[in-house]
Amino acid sequence: MPETVLVTGAAQGLGAAIARHMAARGDRMLLIDRDAVGLAATASACPGALTATADLSDAEDTARAIASLPCEEVGTLIHNAAILRVEPIERVSLSTFRATLDVGIQAAFQLTQAVWPGMAARGGGALVFVSSRSGIEGFANETAYCAAKHALEGFSKCLAMEGEASGIVSYTITPGMLMHTPMSETTYDAEARAAWVDPIRLAPAFTWLSDRRPREFSGQRLSAWDLSQREAA
């Protein structure tokens, strides 16, 4: 059943693919990104979409974006925005570390607080946080990114417990497959690039979760590739 869906990081890559896929089936999209040009391009493919250009590493800018959108109507939140800079710990600046965590977990907190009351009032909703292998493993030269994704994993587990009485479910989801995105273009080696797929192939996983909201998976980490294959079957 069509609903209102909020997607962050919607100007390109996985976020744009999710937005286009969900809009094509009739969902109303609320889109956030700091790239105004890319955001407009995504919105043009999503009839009725509303957008907010914002730097999610800035709490005040995030709050402004939230206030400009009808977040009380959101049935599914998909927090996809992230920062990944691959560099050794001695070269990571404090500003980069803070921005990476703020986009990853501070924005997740602000967005969740914004959509939670409406979801609870309607008897349910879905929170979907895009994670990574970096959310359960450590990787050299990814200290900030791993910290942000590990934080999302714990955040989602807590929300699953708190949302149970209100029908609100919370998931983390990882690609489960190498994706061709602007981020991967700067981080993948030649072997990984040979295996990457268009992120649109992972988008059905997000409609699957939005539609079904399986309570038995709430608080768990899921594979977008596996769910997309299930949806296509």
Indicate the range of 25-34, 77-86, 172-181 predicted with least confidence.
172-181
pLDDT exceeds cutoff 60 at 225: yes
For the domain with range 4-190+200-232, which CATH number is right: 3.30.565.10, 3.40.50.720, 1.10.510.10, 3.90.700.10?
3.40.50.720
pLDDT exceeds cutoff 80 at 183: no
Nearest to 82 by CA among 23, 159, 134: 134
Interval 189-202: pLDDT, tens: 666 566 566 677 88
Confidence of residue 223 (pLDDT cuts 50, 70, 90): confident
Look at residue 229 in the predicted model and tell me its pLDDT.
82
Q: Where are the domains of the chain?
A: 4-190+200-232
pLDDT exceeds cutoff 70 at 233: no
Look at residue 204 in the predicted model and tell me its pLDDT.
92
Backbone phi and psi for residue 24, each to the nearest 5 degrees, phi listed first: -65, -25
